[in-house]
Amino acid sequence: MKIEELKSFLDGRFPPALQEKYDNAGGQVLFSDDDCTGILISLDCDRAVIGEAILLGCNLIVSHHPFFFRPLRSISDGDPRSGALFDLVSGRISLYSAHTNLDKIYYDRLARVIGLSDIKLLLGSDAPQSREPGEYGFGAVGELDEALPLMSLLDRVRERLSLPYLIYSGDSSKLVRRCAVSGGAGGGAIERIIGGHKVDCVITGDVGYHDAKTALDHGVAVIDAGHFGTERILLDFLHAEIQDYLTKTTPAGQIRACVSRMETNPFRVYPPEKQ
């Protein structure tokens, strides 16, 4: 199977027309006529991920965050991003990114992992929806099967997202039932979320000081599970879709798809947790 065929599949599943105006999803580096030898799925594309792809014999990386998001104004062998680009080109490794277009289609995935029901779209989109049918936007709002103390919800989120720690604000004994969930950098939308929905708790990432204060002023708890923690789970869903496509279109085992194991959360806790 050619790289171009896989690009066409991804374009069809996550239409580039759905991405936000500021985004740059789609093909980043493409060797379209090359036969695909394997697919590595990651949040980002850096030199460690590229090295992993080479080790696994993968010549296509599918990342969530676009490599070309901010302008690359110069190329230098002393710059890490330039080095990653050199590695891609010298290794003939193609790179494709599905970003806000994937977020909009997977808007309910994080909520389902946490265990919410009666799920509805949280935030709409300013981007044109083109002619694509369906409901698209960011995040979800839903309810737990029963009200839980905030501390119990913290335990659940930490366990289901396989995270070593969480950051939160709010009364630890507060009963929580209706939750808003938005992955990645959803912390910046807390004021908008609270203004549009009556919720007990917001579960998201990249929460700033003033975002947390705003939530506290409104009596809303906040769980910051991090950008990495709230988006990493999307890779498993993406992997399942890609693998299903490969199973239907290629001989068994011809092309392997896998999720990066080298990629880790860039943040650490100090002092480290006791073992």
Looking at residue 126, its pLDDT comes to: 64
Q: Strand ranges (DSSP E) for the chain? A: 26-29, 38-42, 60-63, 94-97, 117-123, 138-149, 167-169, 175-181, 201-204, 221-224, 256-259
pLDDT at 174 exceeding the cut of 70? yes
CATH number at residue 192: 3.40.1390.30
Same domain, residue pair 243 and 172: no
Same domain, residue pair 30 and 78: yes
In whole angstroms, how far apart are CA 22 and each of 100, 127, 192, 204, 249?
10, 9, 19, 21, 34
Please state the domain count of the chain: 2
Same domain, residue pair 185 and 76: no
Q: Is the pTM value of this prediction over 0.75?
A: yes
Whether omega for the bond prior to residue 251 falls within 30 degrees of 0, making it cis, is no
Looking at residue 132, its pLDDT comes to: 56
pLDDT of 211-246, one tens digit each?
999 999 999 999 999 999 999 999 999 999 999 999
Same domain, residue pair 63 and 155: no
Buried b (16+ CB within 10 A) or exposed e, 206-233: bbeeebbebbeeeebbbbbbbbbbbbbb
Q: Is residue 274 a part of any domain in this protein?
A: no
Same domain, residue pair 179 and 121: yes
Looking at residue 36, its pLDDT comes to: 98
The mean of the pLDDT values for the chain is 94
Same domain, residue pair 15 and 126: no
* Minimum mean pLDDT range among 52-56, 123-127, 221-225, 259-263: 123-127
pLDDT of 57-94, one tens digit each?
999 999 999 999 987 788 998 899 999 999 999 999 99
The predicted model gives 173-196 an average pLDDT of 96
The predicted model gives 28-33 an average pLDDT of 98
What would the two tokens of residue 264 be?
A: 């880790």
Same domain, residue pair 88 and 135: no
pLDDT of 105-139, one tens digit each?
999 999 999 999 999 999 987 655 544 556 799 99
Q: Is residue 12 a part of any domain in this protein?
A: yes
Check if the beta carbon of residue 246 is closer than 8 Å to that of residue 62. no
Looking at residue 131, its pLDDT comes to: 47
Q: Is residue 23 a part of any domain in this protein?
A: yes
Rounded Cα distance, 70 and 241, in Å: 28
Rounded Cα distance, 199 and 116, in Å: 13
Same domain, residue pair 59 and 38: yes
Classify strands 256-259 and 221-224 as parallel, antiparallel or unpaired. Answer: unpaired
Residue 138: domain span: 106-225
Same domain, residue pair 72 and 86: yes
Q: Is residue 124 a part of any domain in this protein?
A: yes
Same domain, residue pair 86 and 179: no
Q: How far from chain centre, in Å, is Cα 71?
A: 21
Identify the DSSP state of 182. -
Give the residue, 159 or 78, on which the prediction is more confident.
159
Looking at residue 77, its pLDDT comes to: 86
- Give the chain's end-to-end CA distance (angstroms, integer): 46
